Protein backbone atom coordinates (compact mmCIF):
# COMPACT_ATOMS: atom_id res chain seq x y z
CA UNK A 1 0.00 0.00 0.00
CA UNK A 2 1.18 3.51 -0.79
CA UNK A 3 2.50 5.35 2.26
CA UNK A 4 1.75 9.08 2.54
CA UNK A 5 3.78 11.09 5.04
CA UNK A 6 1.88 14.27 5.72
CA UNK A 7 0.95 17.20 7.93
CA UNK A 8 -1.90 19.70 7.69
CA UNK A 9 0.20 22.19 5.73
CA UNK A 10 -0.68 23.32 2.18
CA UNK A 11 1.74 21.11 0.27
CA UNK A 12 0.64 17.78 1.80
CA UNK A 13 -3.01 18.73 1.32
CA UNK A 14 -2.44 18.82 -2.46
CA UNK A 15 -1.42 15.18 -2.36
CA UNK A 16 -4.31 14.21 -0.11
CA UNK A 17 -6.64 15.81 -2.67
CA UNK A 18 -5.21 13.73 -5.51
CA UNK A 19 -5.30 10.50 -3.52
CA UNK A 20 -8.91 11.11 -2.54
CA UNK A 21 -9.96 12.17 -6.04
CA UNK A 22 -8.31 9.08 -7.55
CA UNK A 23 -9.68 6.82 -4.79
CA UNK A 24 -6.23 5.34 -4.23
CA UNK A 25 -5.80 3.25 -1.11
CA UNK A 26 -3.07 4.70 1.09
CA UNK A 27 -1.67 4.70 4.59
CA UNK A 28 -1.55 8.20 6.08
CA UNK A 29 1.49 8.64 8.32
CA UNK A 30 1.48 11.90 10.32
CA UNK A 31 4.65 13.97 10.57
CA UNK A 32 4.21 16.52 13.33
CA UNK A 33 6.53 19.33 12.29
CA UNK A 34 5.98 21.29 15.51
CA UNK A 35 7.25 18.29 17.45
CA UNK A 36 10.21 17.92 15.09
CA UNK A 37 9.26 14.62 13.44
CA UNK A 38 10.69 15.91 10.16
CA UNK A 39 14.18 15.95 11.67
CA UNK A 40 14.17 12.32 12.79
CA UNK A 41 16.67 10.01 11.15
CA UNK A 42 14.10 7.67 9.60
CA UNK A 43 12.29 10.56 7.92
CA UNK A 44 15.51 12.22 6.74
CA UNK A 45 16.28 8.92 5.02
CA UNK A 46 13.14 9.48 2.93
CA UNK A 47 13.63 13.20 2.33
CA UNK A 48 17.04 14.72 3.08
CA UNK A 49 15.36 18.15 2.90
CA UNK A 50 13.25 17.33 5.99
CA UNK A 51 9.97 18.49 4.44
CA UNK A 52 6.53 16.96 3.98
CA UNK A 53 4.97 15.53 1.94
CA UNK A 54 6.67 12.27 0.96
CA UNK A 55 5.18 9.16 -0.58
CA UNK A 56 6.63 5.66 -0.68
CA UNK A 57 5.09 3.65 -3.49
CA UNK A 58 6.64 0.19 -3.61
CA UNK A 59 10.32 0.74 -4.23
CA UNK A 60 9.80 4.40 -5.22
CA UNK A 61 10.25 7.25 -2.77
CA UNK A 62 9.19 10.69 -3.97
CA UNK A 63 9.39 14.00 -2.16
CA UNK A 64 8.32 17.56 -3.07
CA UNK A 65 4.60 17.99 -3.55
CA UNK A 66 4.57 18.90 -7.23
CA UNK A 67 6.95 16.06 -8.08
CA UNK A 68 4.57 13.71 -6.27
CA UNK A 69 1.57 15.06 -8.19
CA UNK A 70 3.36 14.59 -11.51
CA UNK A 71 4.43 11.07 -10.53
CA UNK A 72 0.93 10.02 -9.45
CA UNK A 73 -0.81 11.60 -12.42
CA UNK A 74 1.58 9.88 -14.81
CA UNK A 75 1.30 6.51 -13.07
CA UNK A 76 -2.49 6.46 -12.98
CA UNK A 77 -3.06 8.63 -16.09
CA UNK A 78 -5.49 10.81 -14.20
CA UNK A 79 -6.07 14.56 -13.99
CA UNK A 80 -3.90 15.31 -17.00
CA UNK A 81 -4.75 17.26 -20.16
CA UNK A 82 -4.93 15.52 -23.52
CA UNK A 83 -1.45 14.21 -24.33
CA UNK A 84 0.08 16.64 -26.82
CA UNK A 85 3.46 18.30 -26.69
CA UNK A 86 1.77 21.68 -26.25
CA UNK A 87 -0.32 20.47 -23.32
CA UNK A 88 2.63 18.73 -21.69
CA UNK A 89 4.66 21.93 -21.94
CA UNK A 90 1.85 23.97 -20.43
CA UNK A 91 1.33 21.45 -17.63
CA UNK A 92 4.99 21.43 -16.64
CA UNK A 93 5.30 25.22 -16.91
CA UNK A 94 2.37 25.88 -14.59
CA UNK A 95 3.42 23.15 -12.16
CA UNK A 96 6.85 24.79 -11.87
CA UNK A 97 5.20 28.22 -11.58
CA UNK A 98 3.43 26.97 -8.46
CA UNK A 99 6.50 25.15 -7.15
CA UNK A 100 9.00 27.98 -7.65
CA UNK A 101 6.74 30.99 -7.14
CA UNK A 102 3.33 30.56 -5.55
CA UNK A 103 4.43 28.20 -2.79
CA UNK A 104 7.71 29.86 -1.73
CA UNK A 105 6.39 33.43 -1.82
CA UNK A 106 3.21 32.45 0.02
CA UNK A 107 5.21 30.60 2.65
CA UNK A 108 7.60 33.49 3.20
CA UNK A 109 4.73 35.99 3.36
CA UNK A 110 3.15 33.87 6.09
CA UNK A 111 6.43 33.49 7.95
CA UNK A 112 7.38 37.15 8.07
CA UNK A 113 3.87 38.33 8.95
CA UNK A 114 2.93 35.71 11.52
CA UNK A 115 5.97 33.86 12.84
CA UNK A 116 9.17 35.88 12.41
CA UNK A 117 10.63 37.08 15.73
CA UNK A 118 11.08 40.55 14.22
CA UNK A 119 8.42 42.16 12.02
CA UNK A 120 10.59 43.46 9.18
CA UNK A 121 8.61 45.88 6.96
CA UNK A 122 10.84 45.29 3.92
CA UNK A 123 10.46 41.49 4.07
CA UNK A 124 6.70 41.67 4.68
CA UNK A 125 6.19 44.11 1.80
CA UNK A 126 8.36 42.12 -0.62
CA UNK A 127 6.78 38.72 0.01
CA UNK A 128 3.23 40.00 0.14
CA UNK A 129 3.82 41.79 -3.16
CA UNK A 130 5.29 38.72 -4.84
CA UNK A 131 2.61 36.39 -3.49
CA UNK A 132 -0.13 38.71 -4.73
CA UNK A 133 1.63 39.14 -8.08
CA UNK A 134 1.74 35.37 -8.62
CA UNK A 135 -1.88 34.94 -7.58
CA UNK A 136 -2.76 37.83 -9.88
CA UNK A 137 -1.23 35.98 -12.83
CA UNK A 138 -3.39 32.97 -12.03
CA UNK A 139 -6.46 35.14 -11.58
CA UNK A 140 -5.93 36.77 -14.97
CA UNK A 141 -5.59 33.38 -16.65
CA UNK A 142 -8.68 32.04 -14.92
CA UNK A 143 -10.62 35.00 -16.25
CA UNK A 144 -10.54 33.37 -19.68
CA UNK A 145 -10.87 29.66 -18.83
CA UNK A 146 -12.47 27.43 -16.23
CA UNK A 147 -9.27 25.76 -15.05
CA UNK A 148 -5.62 26.72 -15.27
CA UNK A 149 -5.05 24.53 -18.35
CA UNK A 150 -8.41 25.17 -19.96
CA UNK A 151 -11.56 23.06 -19.68
CA UNK A 152 -9.95 20.14 -17.83
CA UNK A 153 -9.49 19.80 -14.07
CA UNK A 154 -5.86 18.76 -13.61
CA UNK A 155 -3.07 18.42 -11.07
CA UNK A 156 -2.22 22.07 -11.75
CA UNK A 157 -5.52 23.11 -10.18
CA UNK A 158 -4.83 20.81 -7.24
CA UNK A 159 -1.40 22.38 -6.78
CA UNK A 160 -2.89 25.88 -6.91
CA UNK A 161 -5.74 25.00 -4.54
CA UNK A 162 -3.37 23.73 -1.85
CA UNK A 163 -2.01 27.24 -1.39
CA UNK A 164 -4.78 29.50 -2.73
CA UNK A 165 -7.31 28.25 -0.18
CA UNK A 166 -5.05 29.95 2.40
CA UNK A 167 -5.09 33.38 0.72
CA UNK A 168 -7.00 35.11 3.57
CA UNK A 169 -4.22 34.02 5.96
CA UNK A 170 -1.46 34.82 3.47
CA UNK A 171 -2.69 38.20 2.22
CA UNK A 172 -5.57 39.26 4.47
CA UNK A 173 -9.28 38.59 4.76
CA UNK A 174 -10.21 40.89 1.86
CA UNK A 175 -7.53 39.65 -0.57
CA UNK A 176 -9.96 37.56 -2.61
CA UNK A 177 -11.75 40.77 -3.61
CA UNK A 178 -8.77 41.37 -5.90
CA UNK A 179 -8.79 37.79 -7.15
CA UNK A 180 -12.40 36.88 -8.06
CA UNK A 181 -11.52 34.30 -10.71
CA UNK A 182 -9.11 32.49 -8.41
CA UNK A 183 -11.67 32.63 -5.62
CA UNK A 184 -14.15 30.96 -7.96
CA UNK A 185 -11.72 28.10 -8.64
CA UNK A 186 -10.93 27.64 -4.95
CA UNK A 187 -14.61 27.57 -4.05
CA UNK A 188 -15.36 25.05 -6.82
CA UNK A 189 -12.64 22.65 -5.67
CA UNK A 190 -13.30 23.10 -1.95
CA UNK A 191 -16.86 21.78 -2.21
CA UNK A 192 -15.76 18.60 -3.99
CA UNK A 193 -16.18 15.54 -1.74
CA UNK A 194 -12.53 14.59 -2.25
CA UNK A 195 -11.40 18.04 -1.10
CA UNK A 196 -13.51 17.79 2.03
CA UNK A 197 -11.94 14.41 2.81
CA UNK A 198 -8.46 15.80 2.12
CA UNK A 199 -8.97 18.74 4.47
CA UNK A 200 -10.35 16.52 7.22
CA UNK A 201 -7.42 14.10 7.08
CA UNK A 202 -5.43 16.12 9.60
CA UNK A 203 -8.24 15.65 12.13
CA UNK A 204 -7.58 11.90 12.23
CA UNK A 205 -4.32 12.49 14.08
CA UNK A 206 -3.53 14.73 17.01
CA UNK A 207 -1.02 17.30 15.77
CA UNK A 208 0.61 19.75 18.15
CA UNK A 209 -1.13 23.12 17.96
CA UNK A 210 0.93 25.23 20.35
CA UNK A 211 3.56 27.44 18.72
CA UNK A 212 5.77 27.33 21.79
CA UNK A 213 9.54 27.64 21.93
CA UNK A 214 10.10 23.99 21.04
CA UNK A 215 7.80 24.27 18.03
CA UNK A 216 9.61 27.38 16.80
CA UNK A 217 12.96 25.65 17.23
CA UNK A 218 11.75 22.68 15.19
CA UNK A 219 10.15 24.73 12.45
CA UNK A 220 12.55 27.67 12.25
CA UNK A 221 15.98 26.32 13.26
CA UNK A 222 17.80 29.25 11.65
CA UNK A 223 16.46 31.50 14.43
CA UNK A 224 18.48 29.43 16.92
CA UNK A 225 21.66 28.99 14.92
CA UNK A 226 24.76 30.17 16.74
CA UNK A 227 26.88 32.44 14.58
Euclidean distance between CA atoms 139 and 164, whole angstroms: 11
> Smallest Cα–Cα separation from 158: which of 8, 30, 21, 2?
21
Q: Which residues contact 23 (CB under 8 A, 6 or more apart)?
A: none
Architecture of the 85-192 domain: Up-down Bundle (1.20)
CATH superfamily of 2-78+197-220: Glutaredoxin (3.40.30.10)
Rg (CA), the chain: 18
pLDDT for the residue 216: 87
Please identify every stretch of the chain with a pLDDT value under 70, giving residue numbers as ranges.
Answer: 225-227
Q: Are 69 and 10 in contact (CB under 8 A)?
A: no
pLDDT for the residue 129: 98
pLDDT for the residue 226: 55
Q: At what angle do helices 193-200 and 10-22 cross, to 10 degrees?
A: 130
pLDDT for the residue 227: 54
* Global pTM value: 0.96
Q: Please write down the HEC assignment for all residues of the chain.
A: CEEEEECCCHHHHHHHHHHHHHCCCEEEEECCCCCCHHHCHHHHCCCCCCCCCEEEECCEEEECHHHHHHHHHHHHCCCCCCCCHHHHHHHHHHHHHHHHHHHHHHHHHHHHHHHCCCCCHHHHHHHHHHHHHHHHHHHHHHCCCCECCECCCCHHHHHHHHHHCCHHHHHCCCHHHHCHHHHHHHHHHHCCHHHHHHHHHHHHCCCCCCCCHHHHHHHCHHHHCCC
Domain ranges of the chain: 2-78+197-220, 85-192
pLDDT for the residue 223: 79
Amino acid sequence: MLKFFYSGQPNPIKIALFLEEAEIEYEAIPIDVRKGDQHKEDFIALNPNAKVPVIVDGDSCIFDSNAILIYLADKYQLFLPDKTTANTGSLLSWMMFVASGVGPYSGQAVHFQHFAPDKLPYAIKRYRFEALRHYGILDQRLGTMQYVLGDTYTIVDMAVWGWARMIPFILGEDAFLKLPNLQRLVAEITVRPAAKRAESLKDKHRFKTDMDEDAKRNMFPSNYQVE
